[in-house]
Chains A and B, each alone.
Chain A
Amino acid sequence: MTPRRTNRPLTLACLTGSLFLSLAGAAVAAAPSKVVGTVAAVVNDVQIRLVGAVRPRPAAVRQRLALGEQVQTGRGSSMQAMLLDRSAFTVGPNSRLTIDRFVYDPAGSSMSASLAKGAMRFMSSGRKGAGERSISTPVASLGIRGTIVDAVVGEEAIAIARGERGLGANVGGDPTSASLIVLRGPGPRARGDVDPGAVSVEAAGRTVELERPMQAAYVPQAGAAPIGPFAISLPGLARINDLILPPTESRTSDAGPDPYLQRGDNRPRLRPVLPGELPQDGGRPDFVNPGDVPIFTPRESDYPDQGPPPPGNPGAGSAPPPNNPGAGSPGSNYPGGAP
């Protein structure tokens, strides 16, 4: 009988190694998914569905946000998520957002996220060219270069688009996927440690570049190319703002009617004088009450950089919408072109 040959040190090493690997594997399995940021603000009903979970759970401020977790806000609810690189998403009501990919790098993180519905504002922390950042909607892909961008998906996108002269009242869209994207800044004259922002909006094989603040693109449904760039109107911008940040409730009665609250009609009515248009002697503006911003009728010359939409825009050049009696009249500074 041949004696069994054993290599006790080797066996011991294998067993020890296996034990360590098992423990390490268990630790990794028990650990949460990769943390990409934190929940920075929660208002009312905000739910987070963990990866693999069937039911979402209520979100809490300073809760860690992991890769692939789905953030969903309810009616009258909103939240802000801050990523490890200090980029931030402010998410409005009835929205659904997921961070799909995130590679943290202090020199320039890479990130991709998806907005399935609702409205959000993304504020990039990095400078232009630092890391790849993209956001997808159901019908468009946004390539982001050091910027602040607003996106609206769904019925509200259609409603805002219909009020834009650059698109026309007859513009349609899929109420579950229509996407409106607006570049907010920074503009070329921004101060501080920022570069001018830009966004590429790609859909159906066509790309539209947004390179100036207030330039917008609209994708009505899957398979449609982006319409734009066109300049979003002030009322359209106000409506997007209201979708992302809650309107103030303390509006005083002597402030007059809110010029932006008439839904479905983005005509300009009154426009405040920009503080930059006031005396520039460094002193206090010449109106007595600081909050009492004077108003005047807009002029086209206020927006020299934002002319009418370019030819070839499917929504441009159509007859003025019937609910826009001011369309075509001279002397307006409606940012979407002279209404």
Chain B
Amino acid sequence: MDRPTIIAPLLILALAGAPVSASAQTAQALDALTRPTAQPATGMDLARRQIAEGQLTQALATLERVILTHPNADEARLLHAGLLCRLDDRPGSVVEFDRLRGRDFPPELWREATEPCQAPRTGD
């Protein structure tokens, strides 16, 4: 068999396989984001890292995964409420803070969650 006879089919196979490999790698990266949210504490740590990197919508999705699977994870809900302030969704944060009324949170967590809401609301 001459060289073109072999190369052409191999090229076809390579082209067919390449996109699958790329998406598989990306999907594996999603798995790495999914695993920490199995537990509220590790999920909140991931969300904090994403917030620190400015990835606010990804942090929101992370906290929602935690809340979906752990509806009573009030500390994750508190962080979620504060994150809505960062996203300038103040009415959304109002609703969520209101739902958490009467809970007792560690002061440092409360400060972390409410700090983004401290920005002036008008004239800024």
Chain A interface (Cβ within 8 Å of chain B)? 9, 12-13, 16-17, 19-21, 23-24, 27-28, 31, 34-35, 37-38, 40-41, 43, 61-62, 64, 78-80, 82, 84, 86-88, 90, 104, 121, 123-125, 148, 184-194, 196, 213-214, 232, 234, 237-238, 241, 245-252, 254-256, 258-260, 270-272, 274-278, 280, 282, 284-285, 289-293, 295, 303-304, 335
Are B88 and A293 in touch, CB under 8 angstroms? no
With A35-B24, A82-B33 given, is the CB distance from A20 to B10 under 8 Å?
Answer: yes
Task: Decide yes or no whether B42 CB sits under 8 A from chain A.
Answer: no
Can you offer 7 A-B residue contacts whose CB atoms are under 8 A? A16-B1, A80-B64, A88-B57, A123-B60, A185-B88, A284-B111, A291-B100
For chain B, the count of residues having a C-beta within 8 Å of the partner chain is 77
- The 8 A CB mask of B8-45 against A (1 = contact, 0 = none) is 11101100110010011011001101100100000000
Counting from the closest, the 8 A-B pairs by CB-CB distance are: A187-B88, A20-B9, A255-B102, A290-B110, A193-B54, A291-B103, A275-B114, A88-B61
Of B58, B87, B90, B117, most A-chain CB atoms within 10 Å = B87
Look across to chain A and name the residue whose beta carbon is closest to the beta carbon of B113. A275
Of B8, B12, B98, B121, most A-chain CB atoms within 10 Å = B98
Chain B interface (Cβ within 8 Å of chain A)? 1-2, 4-6, 8-10, 12-13, 16-17, 20, 23-24, 26-27, 30-31, 33-34, 37, 51, 53-58, 60-61, 64-65, 67-69, 71-72, 74, 77, 82, 84-107, 109-111, 114, 116-122, 124
Which chain A positions have C-beta within 8 A of B101? Answer: 255-256, 272, 291-293, 295
Contact of B98 among A21, A40, A259 (CB under 8 A): A259
**Complex Cα distance A194/B117, Å?**
17
Contact of B64 among A124, A245, A248, A260 (CB under 8 A): A245
Are B95 and A238 in touch, CB under 8 angstroms? yes
Contact of A40 among B34, B77, B92, B111 (CB under 8 A): B34
Which chain A positions have C-beta within 8 A of B72? Answer: 248-250
With A20-B9, A185-B92, A191-B116 given, is the CB distance from A275 to B86 under 8 Å?
Answer: no
Contact of A192 among B55, B89, B90, B91 (CB under 8 A): B55
Which chain A positions have C-beta within 8 A of B111? Answer: 284
**Complex Cα distance A8/B8, Å?**
18
Which chain B positions have C-beta within 8 A of A285? Answer: 110, 114
With A62-B31, A187-B89, A303-B91 known, 9 other A-B pairs at CB within 8 A are A9-B1, A17-B8, A20-B13, A37-B27, A124-B57, A185-B84, A260-B99, A276-B85, A285-B114
Which chain B positions have C-beta within 8 A of A282? Answer: 118
**Complex Cα distance A307/B69, Å?**
37
Contact of B86 among A41, A190, A196, A272 (CB under 8 A): A190
With A248-B74, A274-B117 given, is the CB distance from A34 to B8 under 8 Å?
Answer: no
With A234-B95, A275-B97, A335-B91 given, is the CB distance from A20 to B57 under 8 Å?
Answer: no
Which chain B positions have C-beta within 8 A of A190? Answer: 56, 86-88
Are A187 and B30 in touch, CB under 8 angstroms? no
Which chain A positions have C-beta within 8 A of B64? Answer: 41, 80, 88, 90, 121, 245
Shortest distance from the beta carbon of B102 to any chain A beta carbon, whole Å: 3
Look across to chain A and name the residue whose beta carbon is closest to the beta carbon of B114. A275
**Complex Cα distance A234/B96, Å?**
10
Contact of B94 among A247, A249, A274, A278 (CB under 8 A): A274
Contact of B16 among A27, A188, A232, A258 (CB under 8 A): A27
